[in-house]
Chain A
Amino acid sequence: MNQFNRLDSYKEMVRIRQYESRILQEYHADKQPAWDIGAGLIPGEMHLAAGQEPAAVGVCAHLKKGDAITAPHRPHHFALAHGVDMKAMTAEIYGRDSGLCRGKGGHMHLFDPENHFSCSGIIAQGYPVACGQAFAFKRRSTDNVAVAVAGEGAANQGAFHEALNLAALWSLPVIFVIEDNDWAISVPKSHSTATASNADRAAGYGIPGVRVENNDVEAIFEAAGAAVDRARAGEGPSLIEIHTLRLWGHFEGDAQAYRGAELETVDERDPIPRYAKSLVDLGELTEDQIVTIAAAADAEVDAAIQFAVSSPEPKPQDALLHVFA
């Protein structure tokens, strides 16, 4: 298993958070005074992953070139942690011709073949796809693995269960990751899921299942390491449910009235300041470093946004391209 690097993990979580915070800001900046989801430089739905950084960083720390990820509608943290180019991704979110998908996909449909990264707006859609990527890796005798990521709401989709069975049956190198942020839009897990822990469902397919509590990047790293090692060794798939936190709305503009009192404590549960404090207490991070790390992340994000807004829009008639190869 890889050695865990606390400072690097902290930096990566901050990098993602600064990214999501700036997208949040830019997304809302030109939608005032009249809120219109389709207006502005970044139009459409926006699902940001603030609070879920530990999941992406803890899992992706084990991945190497050639490993695949299928992410869901809330994809930015896994994309960035897996090495998707921030500039190209940002240009895609801005709908530009220089974007990862030439403006055709947008924030929910980022495709980066170089990093074997994809995401989708359809719940649990990436679970079976990860099985196929893992199948290809296995058939080609590589030790690459595929990571399928979905929210806890996705664990009630047929595709989720079919993929688990298939991966177990064929002993595929897949790591199934569930990000349990407690909420499927407005529906709490207790109203949607018959078992308290989705990790228990792994037993039904004869594969290891673990649940990681507390949104703790180090515990996530440990659990993911065991699953990745198992997959690389040809021993088959694993399921990891990570109890994480949706710091903001399901989508931007979500008033979240349904969250009630729980919403009042989200800031206390924010994993990044908490982890910073623990590293400071350990003497592995200084207050000065907290500032410089955030500044370095901001500079990278600034450059990505600058690249996006200065890139040309696609030509309208290019809408007709790419239906077929």
Chain B
Amino acid sequence: MTVTDTETAARRITTAKAMAEGIGLEMRRDPDVFVMGEDVGAYGGIFGSTTDLFGEFGADRVIDTPISETGFIGAGIGAAVEGMRPVVELMFVDFYGVCMDQIDNNMAKIHYFSGGNVKVPMVLMTAAGGGYSDAGQHSQTLWGTFAHLPGMKVVVPSNPYDAKGLMISAIRDDNPVLYIFHKGVLGLGWMTNNPRATGHVPEDPYTVPIGKAAIAREGTDVTVATISLSVHRALDAADELEKEGISIEVLDLRSLVPLDREAILDSVRKTHRLLVVDEDYQSFGMTGEVITTAVEGAFDYLDAPPARIAIPDVPIPYSRVLEQFVLPDADKIVAGVKSLLTA
């Protein structure tokens, strides 16, 4: 997709709608695809990820579950090893605590344990992210936690086009795919309006490859590597910086596993400066991994020590002033870029 396509094409939908559309297309194509989770039926998913699917496919294929995440994620694994392609929703990624054994010790390890003999073609989709004062059990991103654990792909779309194409790729993938959508990129009517959450999406099925980063905006002075809602923040920062004659390249990683290390290195070789922005906890996470990639693979190209902006290793606080202090935003990215340029 080019920027021109986005701006001129008539059919514009939200990221949430694009996800649901991707699932629906795969359900039409493949009778083994089904959806289950809490409130995915008549409600359409708390975050709209299954909008209209219940009406089309009915309760046999769009299944409301009890609040039993260990039970229904485990059941998803079971259906997947028997060759079905479940799309299972964990309502908030924060709820991983009640079901992590099935996710990490089971879903992610079966293929390896079986010596490659058993596949788990399952999508676990889940909502993430803060910025609306939902406090520390409903506002985390946690993608770095999952990416740390071998055996599952971790996909994190930032826009409607990618959301649909990555969802279709995830469903067709023979591996377990954790598909994390930030609430702030979905275009939900009850969240702060985000123009970047609506965009051109073709009606037909298409795939976006898992493991390929996208250059969301080309630039020359600093690479800003990021993911999900922070791509929007970086694009906002890019608009500001452009007024001052500073050109940043915004790299949308799109997935953490696989991580497109070549794309990171290519961009750093071009700009010679790297800022990594992440709405996840700072230590032992994505920012460290991306910076390490640059240091290991493009050390000689770096004109300044790489920098990062992430959650400063505290739980997400409730009060707006406290939460905004810890979240990345465009102003912090602008300041981070300028600091890199004077380093």
Are the chains A and B members of one assembly?
Answer: yes
Contact between A187 and B66, CB atoms less than 8 A apart: yes
CB distance from A164 to the nearest CB of B (A): 15
Looking at the complex, which of A1-9, A37-45, A57-65, A219-227 is the stretch in contact with chain B? A37-45
B-facing residues in A54-103 (Cβ within 8 Å): 92, 95-96, 99, 101, 103
Given known pairs A153-B67, A156-B68, the reply for A122 and B135 (CB within 8 Å) is no
Residues of B within 8 A of A95 (CB): 133, 318-322
CB distance from A257 to the nearest CB of B (A): 8
Cα distance A294–B40 when bound, in Å? Answer: 40
Contact of A186 among B39, B71, B137, B313 (CB under 8 A): B39
Contact between B98 and A38, CB atoms less than 8 A apart: no
Closest to A186 in B: B43
Closest to A257 in B: B42
Contact of B318 among A104, A156, A159, A258 (CB under 8 A): A104
CB distance from A180 to the nearest CB of B (A): 13
Binary interface encoding of chain A residues 180-200 relative to chain B, with 1 for a CB under 8 A from any of its CBs, else 0: 000011110001110000000
Binary interface encoding of chain A residues 125-167 relative to chain B, with 1 for a CB under 8 A from any of its CBs, else 0: 0000000000000000000000000000110111100000000
Given known pairs A121-B137, A192-B66, the reply for A38 and B321 (CB within 8 Å) is no
Is there a chain A Cβ closer than 8 Å to B97's Cβ?
A: yes
Closest to A93 in B: B318
CB distance from A261 to the nearest CB of B (A): 14
Measured as residues with beta carbon below 8 angstroms from the partner, the interface class of chain A is 35 or more
Contact of B319 among A120, A253, A313, A317 (CB under 8 A): A313
The count of A-to-B residue pairs whose CB atoms sit within 8 angstroms is: 148
Residues of A within 8 A of B115 (CB): none
Residues of B within 8 A of A39 (CB): 192
Contact between A319 and B313, CB atoms less than 8 A apart: no
A-facing residues in B85-114 (Cβ within 8 Å): 94-95, 97-98
Residues of A within 8 A of B190 (CB): 35-37, 253
Cα distance A44–B135 when bound, in Å? Answer: 8
Contact of B138 among A45, A159, A184, A323 (CB under 8 A): A45
Is there a chain B Cβ closer than 8 Å to A283's Cβ?
A: no
Contact of A319 among B39, B43, B322 (CB under 8 A): B322
Closest to A158 in B: B70
Contact of A35 among B70, B189, B313, B319 (CB under 8 A): B189
Contact between B132 and A154, CB atoms less than 8 A apart: no
Interface of chain A, helix or strand or loop or mixed?
A: loop
Contact of B192 among A36, A122, A186, A320 (CB under 8 A): A36
Contact between A34 and B46, CB atoms less than 8 A apart: no
Is there a chain A Cβ closer than 8 Å to B324's Cβ?
A: yes
Contact between A106 and B318, CB atoms less than 8 A apart: yes
Binary interface encoding of chain B residues 174-199 relative to chain A, with 1 for a CB under 8 A from any of its CBs, else 0: 00000000000000011111000000
Is there a chain A Cβ closer than 8 Å to B83's Cβ?
A: no
Is there a chain B Cβ closer than 8 Å to A279's Cβ?
A: no
CB distance from A231 to the nearest CB of B (A): 26
Interfacial residues, chain A to chain B (CB-CB below 8 A):
34-39, 43-45, 92, 95-96, 99, 101, 103-106, 108-109, 120-124, 153-154, 156-159, 184-187, 191-193, 253, 257-258, 313-320, 323
Interfacial residues, chain B to chain A (CB-CB below 8 A):
38-39, 41-43, 46, 64-68, 70-71, 94-95, 97-98, 131-138, 189-193, 312-315, 317-326
